[in-house]
Amino acid sequence: MNDTSSLLKQPQWRIIDQSSLGEGFHALQSFAMDDTLCASVGGGSSSAAARAWVHHRTIVLGIQDTKLPFLENGLKILGEQGYQVIVRNSGGLAVVLDEGVLNISLIFPETERKIEINRGYDAMFELVKCMFSDFGATIEAREITGSYCPGSYDLSIGGKKFAGISQRRIRNGVAVQIYLCVNGSGSDRASLIKGFYKAAKENEETRFSYPEIKPSVMASLTELLSVPLTIGDVMLRFLSSLKEMGGSIASSQLSGEEWPLYEAYLTRVTERNEKVFQSL
């Protein structure tokens, strides 16, 4: 069995499904949730966890995005189009989250041996390939130039990106996170981020290189596979594939011991966001 398969084959997966909580579920809560699960899984008080989540009309910025010279102008553009904006506590650049985007986090324990960064990415890549294997489409993992938040593990079909993967590590816990554009228009989402960068950067020279976005290189799975997929459809594929590739799965929520930890992480990420936006 290869390293990737052994990562996905956990004795038990603890499933936390937050994919249908609605508009009141704030993205900052998601980042606090993953940090809490990282601490619990890494500390040995929880089995490996898999969490699914959906947020409505939210733009998640990376730390580098907050250094844009005319950030306030970019935020105004997003606000006028009805999007709330937060800054994530892990790497990467701006991404769009809405009701057509399913996010999945796999949280592994890093207690016995270190999990190399690419090994975590490969595990998520293998899971996604399994989820959509019946379509016969070739899913690639390589950087898609012109996409938003480009990286070496952009997932694409026919050169069009539908997903991006990131990682976060806390206290011997590793969270591998992916956003899957399930339905809606990938190019519309990309156009939104293109407009943000245009307003926030203008023609100013910056030390950091921001992506030149080409909306045509991004699409949803519904567009790429020519099948009307829903979040519920993909959730079923996710759970079935996890069960097929790993051990047993069990539905769960935070335990009594985890709630105070979650509240502390939520306070921390909220205060960090307030600090960023107050400085504008």
pLDDT tens sequence across 10-67: 999 999 999 999 999 999 999 999 999 999 999 999 999 999 999 999 999 999 999 9
**DSSP letter string over 88-140?**
-SSS---EEE-TTEEEEEEEEE-SSS---HHHHHHHHHHHHHHHTGGG-PPPE
Which residues make beta-bridge pairs with 172?
none
pLDDT of amino acid 1: 44
pLDDT of residue 166: 93
The number of folded domains in the chain is 1
pLDDT in tens, 161-207: 999 999 999 889 999 999 999 999 999 999 999 999 999 999 888 88
Catalytic residues: 149
CATH of the domain at 271: 3.30.930.10
